[in-house]
Amino acid sequence: MYHNEHQNCWQFEFLFIFDGIILKNLSPSFLAPTQSWTKLGKPFHQFVNSEELPQPYWIVKNYALAQQLGLPSDWLDHNQTLEILSGNFAASSDVAQIWPIQPTASVYSGHQFGVWAGQLGDGRAMLIGEVKGGQEIQLKGAGPTPYSRRGDGRAVLRSSIREYLCSEAMHHLGIPTTRALSLVGSDLMVMRETPETAAVLARVAPSFIRFGHFEHFSFQNNHQALQTLADYVIERFYPECQLATAKQEIYSQFLSAVCHKTALMIAKWQAVGFCHGVMNTDNMSILGLTLDYGPFKMLDGFDPDLIFNHSDTNGRYTYNQQASIAFWNLHCLAEALLPLIQDIDATKNALETYREVYSQAFLHEFGAKLGLDELTVTENDRPLIHQLLRLLSEEKIDYTWFWQQLAQTLRTNNASHARDLFIHRENFDVWHALYLQRVQSLNLNNILSTMGKSNPRYILRNHLAQIAIEKAQLGDYSEINQLLEVLHNPYQTHSLYDDYARPAPAWASSIEISCSS
Ligand code: AMP
Ligand code: MG
């Protein structure tokens, strides 16, 4: 591997050779060496070596994403690409000579389950490069790093499939997220509760910087590094903040902008019933992206207090808690940025952005689910939304299915589609009368169109992921691809696969989700 810390491999011009054929010199268009995270150097990250993954094989490839990244159309079909995306660039002399990849792992800290956890870092993730448009490619599970602590640096096939499927599902639901470029498997066994096979996920994002990166340098009182980090993120992702007149104001505006993005993301999570299972500050993206899919859950029955992650014994990360936990996490970020903002009131004001934006975003997201678009929904509609959510939670009605059936009541002018889901139908009737009163003067086509764009028919239900995982563990990846086909267009009806839209079967409640991954 390449250990020369003074070299930035991405600055090289090199020939891209696949299977012995010189395609062309791809480096200028394919790689974007300037401004990259890697160039920031120490103390933000360390150069690392990936560990060989024995006899890797493809499990899923994301051709559409590869194309969006400007990668050659057949890039994912080459053996060298398999070596690269499994982390075998050091072992493969072909790749090492052609593409001298120098992976890096970055350092961060964080609050885990509400408690300061100290230094964490990329324990099993490494950045392998940056492609056109400034998107970074990170391998998850390609071996230990200096931040692995007692971990093996690996990820299991089970959790990697969950991350691949869910990150792609979230993207196609219109929710900001990291993406999945490929998943590579191997017969290598790693030990979790039981022995499981390992996998390497290639994931993509403009940046994987977390709240925890800021907390790390702030906690160390390394204000120079803290400022370098903030300036890097602002210049690259929040340039509008640079217009502030005073230096400190740049940082309070930055905090406010992160609050804004986070609020929009959480409102979208709530609207589709997504719950992040480990909303620790080290899993919070500074870009407001959904990051680090571990023990997540898309709610089946609407049970806002459901503890779905068995490692979350106190229920810190239930559906009902997510919006306030995000605010709590933003307070940790604010505290970390205080040495730069240097003004408590400005910091508090910036934090208020979260509450304001979240409140509006919530109204817009849930209004749209009821068919009330942004121009139609008003503050007066909040009680209607809250009453409905209470009703759904009282009977734990299947969340995604309910919205489909509600649209059906309007389409057919027959309340029974939604009404029959309830045991206490009289309670639904009271709410439904209010709803019909609210929408009666509005255009039905507009309502249905708004509902159709806001209520997915298909979400990554836990049992669907489980079926795909169990098949994949036997070497059959067809279910993953079939599921992805549906999740790529979650708002449309796929008549061939419409079973995927159905509420979960009884056995789904026995699926255990934990931090083990
Ligand atoms: P997570 O709960 O997945 O967000 O991980 C928390 C921390 O533990 C991060 O620093 C991870 O990099 C690290 N970590 C988790 N699993 C492993 C593993 N198998 N090997 C090394 N580090 C790990
Ligand atoms: Mg994490």
Q: What pLDDT, in 10s, does the model give residues 407-435?
A: 999 999 999 999 999 999 999 999 999 99
Q: Is the pLDDT of residue 23 over 70?
A: no
Long-range Cβ pairs for the range 98-102 (8 Å, 24+): 98/14, 98/15, 98/16, 98/17, 99/14, 99/16, 100/2, 100/9, 100/12, 100/14, 101/2, 101/9, 101/128, 101/129, 102/1, 102/2, 102/7, 102/8, 102/9, 102/38, 102/47
**Can you read off the two tokens belonging to residue 37?**
């995270």
When mean pLDDT is compared across 41-45, 117-121, 217-221, 260-264, the lowest value belongs to: 41-45
When mean pLDDT is compared across 36-40, 394-398, 474-478, 482-486, the lowest value belongs to: 36-40
Compute the average pLDDT of residues 233-262.
97
Same domain, 84 and 180: yes
Q: Is the pLDDT of residue 6 over 60?
A: no
Within-domain flag for 255: yes
* Banded pLDDT at 91 (limits 50, 70, 90): confident
* Centroid of ligand 1 to alpha carbon of 123 (angstroms): 5
Q: Is the pLDDT of residue 70 over 60?
A: yes
How far is 128 from 102, CA to CA, in rounded Å? 6
* Banded pLDDT at 24 (limits 50, 70, 90): very low
Same domain, 201 and 298: no
Q: Is the pLDDT of residue 19 over 70?
A: no
Give nearest CA residue, ligand 1 atom 17: 151
Ligand 1 within 6 A of 196 CB?
A: no
Give nearest CA residue, ligand 1 atom 14: 123
Q: Would you call 164 exposed, middle or buried from its count of C-beta atoms within 10 A (0-12, 13-18, 19+)?
A: buried
Within-domain flag for 512: no
Compute the average pLDDT of residues 341-347.
98
Same domain, 170 and 195: yes
Compute the average pLDDT of residues 448-472.
98
Same domain, 391 and 305: yes
Ligand 1 within 6 A of 148 CB?
A: yes
Give the pLDDT score at 484: 98
Give the pLDDT score at 92: 75
* Centroid of ligand 2 to alpha carbon of 136 (angstroms): 17
Give nearest CA residue, ligand 1 atom 12: 123
Within-domain flag for 229: yes
Q: Is 496 helix (H, G, I), strand (E, B) or coil?
A: helix
Give the pLDDT score at 22: 33
Compute the average pLDDT of residues 435-463.
98
Q: What are the residues facing 199 on neighbouring strands?
A: 155, 185
Ligand 1 within 6 A of 51 CB?
A: no
Same domain, 423 and 306: yes
Pairing of strands 274-275, 57-61: unpaired
Degrees (nearest 5) of the Cα angle 502, 201, 17? 130
Within-domain flag for 112: yes
* Banded pLDDT at 89 (limits 50, 70, 90): confident
Ligand 1 within 6 A of 154 CB?
A: yes
- Cα radius of gyration (the chain): 24
Give the pLDDT score at 478: 98
How far is 503 from 458, CA to CA, in rounded Å? 10
Helix extents (H) in 40-177: 63-68, 79-85, 93-98, 157-172
| 3-state secondary structure labels for all residues of 379-402 | HHHHHHHHHHHHHHHHHCCEHHHH
Comparison of pLDDT for 31 and 174, the residue scoring more: 174
* Centroid of ligand 2 to alpha carbon of 281 (angstroms): 9
Ligand 1 within 6 A of 294 CB?
A: yes
Q: Is the pLDDT of residue 325 over 50?
A: yes
Q: Is the pLDDT of residue 10 over 60?
A: no
How far is 311 from 320, CA to CA, in rounded Å? 17
Same domain, 279 and 299: yes
Q: Would you call 396 exposed, middle or buried from its count of C-beta atoms within 10 A (0-12, 13-18, 19+)?
A: middle
Q: Is the pLDDT of residue 346 over 80?
A: yes
Question: Over the chain, what is the mean pLDDT?
Answer: 92
Q: Which of 435, 455, 475 is the last residue of a domain?
A: 455
Same domain, 28 and 144: yes
Q: Which of 122, 282, 303, 398 is catalytic?
A: 282
* Centroid of ligand 2 to alpha carbon of 333 (angstroms): 16
The count of structural domains within the chain is: 2
Same domain, 135 and 237: no
Same domain, 204 and 227: no
What pTM, to 2 d.p., does this model score?
Answer: 0.94
Compute the average pLDDT of residues 441-461.
98
Ligand 1 within 6 A of 190 CB?
A: no
Mutate to test the pocket of ligand 1, among 106, 148, 149, 190 (most ligand atoms within 8 A of CB): 148
Give the H or E element holding residue 21: strand 21-24
Compute the average pLDDT of residues 263-275.
98
Compute the average pLDDT of residues 25-36.
43
Same domain, 186 and 218: no
Ligand 1 within 6 A of 121 CB?
A: yes
* Centroid of ligand 1 to alpha carbon of 214 (angstroms): 18
* Phi, psi (degrees; rounded to nearest 5) at 117: -105, -5
* Banded pLDDT at 33 (limits 50, 70, 90): very low
Pairing of strands 45-47, 104-106: antiparallel
Within-domain flag for 470: no
How far is 479 from 476, CA to CA, in rounded Å? 7
Contact residues for 214 (Cβ-Cβ < 8 A; gap 6+): 226, 229, 230, 286, 333, 336, 337
Ligand 1 within 6 A of 460 CB?
A: no
Same domain, 136 and 229: no
Same domain, 182 and 231: no
Compute the average pLDDT of residues 8-22.
29
Give the pLDDT score at 133: 82
**Can you read off the two tokens belonging to residue 391?**
């009703």
- Cis before 43 (ω within 30): yes
Within-domain flag for 477: no
CA 215: distance to chain centroid?
21
Within-domain flag for 142: yes
* Banded pLDDT at 282 (limits 50, 70, 90): very high
When mean pLDDT is compared across 30-44, 212-226, 347-361, the lowest value belongs to: 30-44
How far is 495 from 202, CA to CA, in rounded Å? 31
Compute the average pLDDT of residues 324-347.
98
Tell which atom from ligand 1 comes closest to the C-alpha of 123.
12
Q: Which of 433, 455, 477 is the last residue of a domain?
A: 455
Q: Is the pLDDT of residue 29 over 90?
A: no
Give the pLDDT score at 27: 38
Q: Is the pLDDT of residue 453 over 80?
A: yes
Q: Whose CA is closest to 251, among 264, 260, 238, 261?
A: 238
Q: Would you call 478 exposed, middle or buried from its count of C-beta atoms within 10 A (0-12, 13-18, 19+)?
A: exposed
The reply to whether 282 belongs to the active site is yes
Tell which atom from ligand 1 comes closest to the C-alpha of 278.
2
Q: Which of 185, 208, 231 is the last residue of a domain?
A: 208
* Centroid of ligand 1 to alpha carbon of 378 (angstroms): 43
How far is 194 from 198, CA to CA, in rounded Å? 12
Query: Which tens digits make up the pLDDT trace of 192-229?
Result: 999 999 999 999 999 999 999 999 999 999 999 999 99
Within-domain flag for 466: no
Query: Cβ distance 508 to 300 under 8 Å?
Result: yes
* Banded pLDDT at 117 (limits 50, 70, 90): very high
Q: Which structural domain, as residue segments, surrounds residue 95?
A: 6-208
Q: Is the pLDDT of residue 4 over 50?
A: no
Mutate to test the pocket of ligand 1, among 120, 158, 317 (most ligand atoms within 8 A of CB): 120
